[in-house]
Amino acid sequence: MTKRSALATLLALTLAGPAGAAEPLRIGLAAPLSGPDAGFGQGARLGAEQAVAEINRAGGVLGRKLQLVVQDDAADPKQAVAVARRFAGSGVRFVIGPLTSGAAAAASPVYEEAGIVSVTPGATWAPLTRRGAGLLFRLSGSDAQQGALGGALLAERFRGKPVAIVHDKTSFGRGLADEAARALKARGGQERLFEGVSRDDRETAALVAKLRALGIEALYFGGLSAPAAGLIRAMREAGLTTVVIGSDGLLDRDFSQVPGAEGTLMTVSPAPPRLPEPKGTRTPRSPEAEMFAASAYAAVEVLRQGIEGARSVEPAKVAATLHSGVPLRTVLGEVAFDAGGDLVKPPFTVQAWRRLPDGRLDFAGNETSP
């Protein structure tokens, strides 16, 4: 080697940086950092940042450090699409988010077309993984999985007894009710009544009369707290002791004030684990931030293990590894994905609203077997 060529080689190495250094692997985060859901989004950001920092301290992924690229989608579908397009245009191949169902439903086709793997920590809308997406994964149980658990409870706890399925006429509630009916039928059961009801007093009174005439002993309610509360109140006033099974749509502080709500069963996701505060942090995370901090942290862990398992940063290869059902260790516990990108074992538990010694009605700590 001539002196000139040796100098040229040295100059090239100097410009390239330290030996073995590689360009950072950019991971996007699409979360609501403004608007009414900003508290949840800030938690997701903190969790993702913490995971990236710890992975980088341990050497990165396949010899590359991670770089988190954060975008605010405000939980708005239009803004979520704009964020997805920005990520696609800047060459980001992996994204955590969106958090909410509406934002994820709007943005997921953009991610799919751009060949971007996305892991949503919180979107529960059932059709999200049923639209042929091959690069989408979610760390929360879906509404379909939750409704199916409700139907299974009807079939197993009230086998041979008259049961009903009721929804609040919203897409959320109807979706839960449809899945509950399918699960009930798959287990050899059949509801005596399948009906929608709003908060209208006349509708509620007519439904209660039907429940009485059919001798309904238990019903699954798909929907939110307010219409469920109105129905329970009307049933108790009519002297009906019908057991109600609901979803996490009943998670409302006012539900504890409903006369006759004691004994109501509810399917919910377990409380997320609390991440340890990073060193040097002075301000503790808010309760809203804690809701998604651990899930976003786990989403980064999922991507890391998918990349390492595939030995590649090609999104299609990473997705194939995640779809294989291989168990992944995360801060949420061990998770695995099915061929559609849903959790193989959704983390729902069944809680019962019980009267506490101090007289309050609450579900916390009242877990019952599914």
Q: Dihedrals φ, ψ of 167, to 5°? A: -135, 165
* pLDDT digits 0-9 by tens, 59-98: 999 999 999 999 999 999 999 999 999 999 999 999 999 9
Instruction: Say whether pLDDT at 238 is over 90.
Output: yes
Per-residue model confidence (pLDDT) at position 271? 79
Phi/psi region, residue 266 (left: phi>0; alpha: psi -120 to 50; beta: rest), is beta
Interacting residues of 282 by C-beta distance below 8 A, sequence separation 6+ = none
Show contacts of 139-142: CB within 8 Å, 24+ apart: 139/295, 139/298, 139/299, 139/302, 139/332, 139/335, 139/343, 140/269, 140/295, 140/343, 140/346, 141/269, 141/342, 141/343, 141/346, 141/347, 141/348, 142/342, 142/346
Task: Name the range with the highest mean pLDDT among 85-94, 120-129, 199-208.
Answer: 85-94
Q: Which two tokens stand for residue 193?
A: 């009544």
- The domain over range 144-268+349-368 is classified in CATH as 3.40.50.2300: yes
Multiple choice CATH, 22-141+272-335, 3.40.50.300, 2.40.30.10, 3.40.50.2300, 3.30.360.10: 3.40.50.2300
Phi, psi of 336 (to 5 degrees): -150, 150
Are the beta carbons of 189 and 153 closer than 8 angstroms? no
354's enclosing H/E stretch is strand 354-355
Name the strand (E) or helix (H) holding 152: helix 143-157
Q: Is the fold of 22-141+272-335 the same as that of 144-268+349-368?
A: yes
| pLDDT computed for residue 7 by the predictor | 41
The tokens for 51 are 């995971």
Q: Is 3 exposed, middle or buried (0-12, 13-18, 19+ CB in 10 A)?
A: exposed
Question: Tell me: the pLDDT tens digits for 266-276?
Answer: 998 887 888 87
Residue ranges of domains in the chain: 22-141+272-335, 144-268+349-368
DSSP 87: H
Helix 315-323 crosses helix 287-310 at what angle (to 10 degrees)? 100
For residue 211, the model assigns a pLDDT of 98
Q: How far apart are CA 53 and CA 240, in angstroms?
A: 56
pLDDT for position 255: 85
Exposure of 280 in the CB half-sphere (CA atoms within 13 A): 1
- pLDDT above 90: residue 297: yes
d(CA 245, CA 250): 10
Residue with tokens 């995971």: 51
- Top mean-pLDDT range of 161-170, 255-264, 277-286: 161-170
Residue 262 CB neighbour total at 10 angstroms? 14
pTM (predicted TM-score)? 0.84
